[in-house]
Amino acid sequence: MPVAIITGASRGLGQALAAGLADNGWDLVLDARTGPALAAAAAALPGTVRAVPGDITDPAHRAELIAAADALGGANLLINNAGTLGPSPLPQLADLPLDAVRDLFEVNVVALLALTQLALPGLRERAGTIINITSDAAVEAYEGWGGYGASKAAVEQLSNVLAAEEPDVRVWWTDPGDLRTQMHQDAFPGEDISDRPLPATVVPAVLKLFAEDPASGRYRLTELT
């Protein structure tokens, strides 16, 4: 069975992607910072699922994720979904604490690249795939989204260059659109976001990417369904 590592898989889009892949025969290694929530999410899935709780900014935890995938035969897919929004409510750039900026880039960019570097040797051998979850905030100017958007813009360019440097690995950076997730709720505290689609609605688009196997590049999932 193919093996996928999915970060941030205890809830939201990561949990939905895990369910979609498990239903299609993938073995999974799942990451999240909250152990009980991750264990519950993993227990609800069919097939072989390894829950590895921890923080992706921790080098030892990243090594544990790769080791868990290697024990299942090695990762064919890495989905870099874990991330942080930053302060809530979202401040304008003039008021964004610099410590929050450093944290945004440490989690959303540096840790993502560090885990990718560890996974790359095996992904090259297996002609594997990397999916980096991005956002329209990386390419559009929304008030309050400067810090998060800048970190996602960095992820986009990192993905773009990685695709050029790694011809044996498929690299897709995917924008899922606005979804009904806790992170999106945190971005709009006190507002009703029930009109946003659930994360599971974009899972067919990810499965379509695997079925059609397009070239490395940026894809808006809402345009693939």
pLDDT tens profile 54-96: 999 999 999 999 999 999 999 999 999 999 999 999 999 999 9
Which secondary-structure segment (H or E) carries 192? none
Between CA 93 and CA 121 the distance in angstroms is 38
Bridge partners (DSSP) of residue 28 are 4, 49
- Residue 151 pLDDT greater than 80, yes or no: yes
Q: Count Cβ atoms below 10 Å from residue 147 Cβ, excluding itself.
A: 26
Helices and strands (H and E) in the chain: how many: 8, 7
One-letter identity of residue 117:
Q
Spell out the residues 6+ positions from residue 121 whose beta carbon is closer than 8 angstroms to its own: none
Per-residue pLDDT, averaged over 112-123, amounts to 98
Place of tokens 């950076």: 173
d(CA 24, CA 104): 33
The catalytically annotated residue of 26, 145, 148, 219 is 148
- The mean pLDDT value of the chain amounts to 97
Cβ 26 vs Cβ 34: under 8 Å: no
Which are the contacts of 61, defined by CB distance < 8 A and separation ≥ 6?
31, 52, 54, 55
Q: So what's the pLDDT on residue 50?
A: 98
142 is a catalytic site residue = no
Asked if 173 and 134 touch (Cβ cutoff 8 Å), the reply is yes
pLDDT of residue 139 exceeding 90: yes
pLDDT for 187: 87
Tell me the residue type at 21. L
* All domains of the chain in start order, with CATH: 3-223 (3.40.50.720)
Predicted confidence (pLDDT) per residue in 169-213, tens digit: 999 999 999 999 999 898 899 999 999 999 999 999 999 999 999
Portion of the chain with pLDDT greater than 90, in percent: 96
